[in-house]
Chains A and B, each alone.
Chain A
């Protein structure tokens, strides 16, 4: 994200994009970026759990009904790569990462 301040080593950016922004006070377009603290032992799962706890609609949309796994319709990217490549939900974070929540695109 050119021109945007990079998070400090103990923090990460969570970027919420497209229709997912509706769940964090947006209008369903563009993106909103949140600067989040990274604690010792944090992973994408733990950071996202703390983050979504503040946004009940996002919490319901991102996780499966029992909250054990991600649901079907929001992609999670870490540093522009989808989960399952360099990171999975339980890979330790070191700080400085950018976690993107991208709404699945239906159609086209």
Chain B
């Protein structure tokens, strides 16, 4: 039985300082000294920072100074969950990783699911804050009050699945009783787009958080599902809110496919809008590929399934599969998300679904971000086709759709072998180093962040969000139910002003979602519904306007952190290829570059930031209750 307590139990033994929905403690770990300790956080701080990225942004701003680069021992690696984690709301095993990342050198927030968040809360902690750097490879073991930094020499070189299997065997605990988030060889070798992978198929992928973990010589965090009680303030109200959210997910036409098929429908759907990235942005046509094979039921139907879900989740989303035929017949893989189908598939010209599925899992097991891998591998393929890179440089011939070649490249990157050492720096640095025409073919933001696996030349709102965000990915979570914040339900996607206004208005939604301890897919509902669940869980009167304010406040803190790191307005642009005009397909008439400067003006005006300095304006900060940040940003 889940250790989730009921309201009755909480009422019978009221705590001196109620911590409804929270464990009430942060776990601190200093890997340099091996010391671990706990730290209480107050009701006021919980109300103000919630958890996840909200909490992580505050810690990052307060504890990571501008001279503390991503690979400095004083950098913090925050693994935070939130108030809904471990409670009976769908998909509430969520984990958000916050750190100063290796790709942009700025703030990072990246979210993953599985069971980690629930296991952590049941162990008595809302977040783990890791600092320092171990002398030898180690892993963190948590079993309720037992918290130990243990030697991980026997795990060196293992991929993420092998690491989890080894720890399951070592502790004689498996399945949902043990949650493991780990790095593979790419993290150990400080690949700048290394991810942190957990629970067989879940990835905190953005901005090289796995490289930060590798630099700290932390191989894994391993949590035995704890036994501490966790109470909701109003259990009946929470379950009612959770049921309403689930009902909406199942029955709302726009989310019911997400409920049934997860993100699989994205391939066909986005291809019709010119948003599926094909062969490193060189075309938007699907050619002679039979797209019926890429519809969600076809993508899922061809595989033999093994069950696999996240904490308390009723979605038909995550699956472990067995590849039924072909070169990789019999291999166990995790069903790719949409971004897996694009990054390990269409972006590199690979359209055999069994090969894509196999490669995607290999990428996860190496702990590499599948999006950046797609941009790197696709760039090499295009450059070799056009003669901008030679076989001598790369070490072998790599052509579009070559799955074995892509696998070889992945190994070279993960171990920083040969040309892979340069590629391990990410496509921005690699292409700038090679220069010439090759540099014009690379897809990235000028901050160095990886765009998600779309062709944003047909989805301007996400290109603008990715370029202006301060977390190494996006801050708005579009598409969403934007009318609830007064934004229009529909805009012309190629009208820059409309796009910028919308992005500014829905900014911060992602931060709110990623601070609650759940999944962005099961939270694909109105923010007002999430606020209702949060109110029932905590006893607060939390409303939509509080959620909007929270999102904008978190965004402002992250922006201030990045400005302090020297990441400002001068890099809020797409790379030449990322911002180019498509040569064919549904978006071919549209050139985002012609409207970019105007888009930035409107966005800055909408979010209340200064266009020249990039700073949130004084009045914006005051309205958000960030007087302390105003003093810091505007001190003489």
Contact = CB atoms under 8 A, between A and B. Distances in A.
Contacts of B297: 29
Nearest to B297: A29
Given A23-B253, A71-B489, A85-B492, A106 B258 contact: yes
B296 interface: yes
B493 A102 contact: no
Contacts of B263: 107-108
Contacts of B491: 84
Contacts of A77: 272-273, 586
A70 B490 contact: yes
B629 interface: no
B295 A29 contact: yes
Contacts of A80: 272, 586
Nearest to B270: A105
Contact of A105 (B260, B479, B586): B479
A19 B265 contact: yes
Contact of B269 (A69, A70, A72, A105): A105
Contacts of B292: 30
Interface in A48-69: 61, 64, 69
A22 B255 CA distance: 13
Contact of A82 (B260, B270, B493, B524): B493
A71 B269 CA distance: 18
Interface in B488-537: 489-495, 520-521, 524
Given A72-B483, A107-B262, A108-B339, A18 B254 contact: no
B494 A85 contact: yes
A20 interface: yes
A108 B338 contact: yes
Contacts of B489: 64, 69-72
B273 A102 contact: yes
A39 interface: no
A80 B582 CA distance: 15
B524 A106 contact: yes
Interface string A87-108: 0000000000000101111111
Contacts of A73: 253-254
A17 B273 CA distance: 12
Nearest to A64: B489
A100 B272 contact: yes
B482 interface: yes
B56 interface: no
Contacts of A30: 292, 295
A67 to B, nearest CB: 14
B481 interface: yes
A28 interface: yes
Q: How many A residues touch the partner, as a band?
A: 20 to 34
A108 B266 contact: yes
A102 B524 contact: no
B490 A72 contact: yes
A82 B255 CA distance: 21
Given A72-B483, A105-B479, A84 B257 contact: no
A83 interface: yes
B382 interface: no
A70 B489 CA distance: 8
A75 interface: yes
A33 interface: no
Highest count of chain B CB atoms <10 Å: which of A100, A104, A106: A106
A81 interface: yes
Interface string B143-155: 0000000000000
A106 B253 contact: no
Given A29-B297, A107-B521, A108-B266, A20 B253 contact: yes
Highest count of chain B CB atoms <10 Å: which of A28, A64, A104, A107: A107
Contact of A61 (B253, B490, B493, B524): B253
Highest count of chain A CB atoms <10 Å: which of B257, B491, B589: B257
A73 B492 CA distance: 14
Nearest to A81: B586
A73 B520 CA distance: 18
B240 interface: no
Contacts of B68: none
Contacts of A106: 254-255, 257-258, 479, 524
B5 interface: no
A75 B590 CA distance: 18
B493 A107 contact: no
A80 B253 CA distance: 22
Contacts of B453: 108
Contacts of A23: 253
Contacts of B483: 72
Nearest to B298: A29
B544 interface: no
Nearest to A100: B272
Contact of B257 (A19, A69, A82): A19
B7 interface: no
A103 B254 contact: yes
A105 B262 CA distance: 10
Nearest to A71: B489
A43 to B, nearest CB: 17
Interface string B246-277: 00000001111110101101101110110000
B253 A19 contact: yes
Nearest to B317: A107
Interface string B277-297: 000000000000000100111
A17 B494 CA distance: 22
B386 to A, nearest CB: 28
B337 interface: yes
Highest count of chain B CB atoms <10 Å: which of A18, A22, A61, A108: A108
A85 B636 CA distance: 48
A20 B255 CA distance: 12
Contacts of A72: 254, 481-483, 489-490
A29 B258 CA distance: 13
Contacts of A105: 257, 265-266, 269-270, 479
Q: Which 10 A/B pairs are nearest by Cβ-Cβ distance?
A: A108-B338, A84-B492, A108-B263, A72-B489, A73-B254, A108-B266, A105-B269, A107-B263, A19-B257, A107-B258
12 contacts: A18-B268, A19-B257, A77-B586, A82-B493, A85-B589, A102-B273, A104-B254, A105-B269, A107-B262, A107-B520, A108-B266, A108-B338
Given A18-B269, A72-B490, A80-B586, 6 more contacts: A72-B482, A73-B254, A77-B273, A85-B590, A105-B479, A108-B338
